[in-house]
A and B are shown apart, each in its own frame.
Chain A
């Protein structure tokens, strides 16, 4: 409702192909229907309905204990839902054991069999299915080539580095050509540099094999880099589903806005609501916020304006028009990160606002220093308005 019509209205033939979730006729590949999972009295997953489409790289994003892993494990067949239905490619998964599901999983710990070589690990699923020996040899070689592990075929898992194990685990879970590949924190055990490199490799491999990927992660950057769509989860419930772009630009709640990237949340009440614009008066920040579109609500209702730090402008002089979207304060903290600088500005009201500015030109000395009086201002379109 808070997403402008223009974003949703890009219904076009091309869009239907690349964004099946915007095509009302598209048939979901994976479907959760009112799925609930209780452990004792605890609702790990609470009445979740979710459609995932073919060839997607779908990310379940949330903090620990939000139910994302339980959702994944129910898809794999390691947990049965307390109530609700799960369909994969139109087939009801109720009562189908893990070993008969068209899914394969890449475990967080990789779960490589320590008593088997890389080759044997990768071949395991095929051997189990009774595939002929020559065919296994061919497929294993091909798969090890795909993950660039051919050289290590004879090694045991303990002789591999973390990144190499991750590749073997990926090869092992892909070799049976599952309809859905499940990835539980696939890059969690890798160090930062390797993780960034592997993110793109995983996406490339996914594009090459065309398998539908569903991954669980707590790392918003990882989710945004890799996923076609993300479901943000909290306390067993999905807060919002959307593309990384949609989630970042049009969060539907303070939780999502906070979870993806950084945000300043300014609380205020609606004082003027027109067809074309709206004004929110904030005592917290001591200013009036002008919004360039209508807000659904009545005057006097509480709203939050969510403004990303990089959309704020920092100036020493007051802007020409200080009526709307403008506050003054003092620089309290400075973080110089090289490419960008972050500033914490303490407003007269006591609220702290975070501003990031690119250091796009070379300066003789830092632009601002502690205790500088500054003005913080923003465009009418910079804020998204949240009511929860």
Chain B
């Protein structure tokens, strides 16, 4: 058959073979561009403007002056973040709370993931289901439920008072403790799932080999299981740490007025102070804080994957 007598379908097939890959990859990239990069650029733009009593409440970045485009960049917002210790404190506090929460999540999540990975086949899917089950109710409702549990008149206090262990109700809500409880509870599945998938893939005979060569069970764990589950630990930790840094709902609902986190600061700038440029600068700075570890993580992961091939 000569090439100029191709049917429409054949032409389409040829075109797909040539360009299909671009099409398939193009769709998600277009999505990300539209809903991630564009809003990000808008926020970035606002962060370089000045607050104004106007609609929208910030100055224009681009102006037509003398038949040319003039760009007025205002670094004042970023300088302001540096000058007011409130922001630094909020950032550091967020990172501290997120880091401690991540460690607690890891300590609770690791044994759970290990238990699930070593459970029998049918039991395993049930246990995994239980881990994922809370996602089926609204996140907000679950945090509200914790208010009911941790409150002065909540379930825990009621129970402890009833048994007579305490005579005065414990103050648990509106403390940093409650924030930890909330974050650990909410993000635990994000730790368990990647850990489970690395532990489940691990060859049992590796542990047997370690035992065979003289390791006691805990030594086999430290020398073989733990290092081999490192990618899972890293993935789980980042999945918990990154959203926990910017967490707003949990500190707002469970934390006290002293629990200063960057998510709350951001909210206040936007809605209470209506200072969009400062709020945008806070958001951009936070993104930079978070993007660096993500990129580092991805770098390590690609290196590891290359190593395994």
Contacts and interface: CB of A to CB of B under 8 A. Distances in A.
Given A114-B308, A115-B228, A125 B213 contact: yes
B211 interface: yes
A98 B208 contact: yes
Contacts of A176: 213-214
A51 to B, nearest CB: 23
B155 interface: no
Contacts of A77: 211-212
A211 to B, nearest CB: 15
Given A115-B228, A156-B307, A158-B309, A99 B208 contact: no
A76 interface: yes
Main secondary structure of the interface of B (DSSP, over half): helix
A108 B213 CA distance: 16
A98 B309 contact: no
Contacts of B213: 99, 104, 124-125, 128, 172-173, 176
A97 B203 contact: no
Nearest to A130: B214
Nearest to A129: B214
A107 interface: yes
Contacts of B309: 158
Which residue, B208, B214, B223, has most C-beta atoms of chain A within 10 A?
Answer: B214
Given A111-B206, A114-B228, A99 B211 contact: yes
Interface in B182-223: 203, 205-206, 208-216, 219, 223
A98 B211 contact: yes
B227 interface: yes
B122 to A, nearest CB: 15
B205 A98 contact: no
Given A107-B205, A111-B208, A113-B209, A128 B228 contact: no
A356 interface: no
A103 interface: yes
Interface in A101-151: 103-105, 107-109, 111-115, 124-125, 128-129
Contacts of A172: 209, 213
A115 B229 CA distance: 11
A109 B205 contact: yes
Given A111-B203, A158-B307, A128 B212 contact: no
A159 to B, nearest CB: 9
B208 A107 contact: yes
Nearest to B308: A158
Which residue, B209, B211, B309, has most C-beta atoms of chain A within 10 A?
Answer: B209
Contacts of A158: 307-309
B224 A113 contact: yes
Given A113-B224, A114-B308, A158-B308, A99 B205 contact: no
Which residue, A78, A115, A156, has most C-beta atoms of chain B within 10 A?
Answer: A115
Contact of B215 (A99, A107, A111): A99
A97 B205 CA distance: 16
B214 A99 contact: yes
A112 B228 CA distance: 12
A172 B203 CA distance: 18
B289 to A, nearest CB: 31
Contacts of A103: 212
A176 B209 CA distance: 13
Nearest to B304: A115
Contacts of B212: 76-77, 98-99, 103-105, 173
B203 to A, nearest CB: 6
Which residue, B205, B213, B219, B228, has most C-beta atoms of chain A within 10 A?
Answer: B213
A109 B228 CA distance: 17
Contacts of B308: 114, 158
A99 B224 CA distance: 15
A77 B209 CA distance: 11
Which residue, A103, A125, A158, A173, has most C-beta atoms of chain B within 10 A?
Answer: A125
A214 B302 CA distance: 42
B219 A105 contact: no
B206 A128 contact: no
A156 B211 CA distance: 21
B198 to A, nearest CB: 12
A105 B307 contact: no
Interface string B218-250: 010001100110000000000000000000000
Contact of B208 (A78, A114, A124, A156): A78
19 contacts: A76-B212, A77-B211, A98-B211, A98-B212, A99-B214, A99-B215, A104-B212, A108-B205, A109-B205, A111-B206, A113-B206, A113-B209, A113-B210, A125-B213, A128-B215, A158-B307, A158-B308, A158-B309, A173-B212
Given A99-B215, A113-B210, A125-B214, 18 more contacts: A76-B212, A78-B211, A97-B211, A99-B211, A103-B212, A105-B209, A105-B212, A107-B205, A107-B208, A107-B209, A111-B209, A113-B206, A114-B228, A115-B227, A115-B228, A125-B213, A173-B212, A176-B214
Interface of A: 76-78, 97-99, 103-105, 107-109, 111-115, 124-125, 128-129, 156, 158, 172-173, 176
Interface of B: 203, 205-206, 208-216, 219, 223-224, 227-228, 307-309
Return the 9 tightest CB-CB contacts between A and B, nearest first.
A125-B213, A111-B209, A111-B205, A128-B214, A98-B211, A105-B212, A107-B205, A99-B211, A115-B227
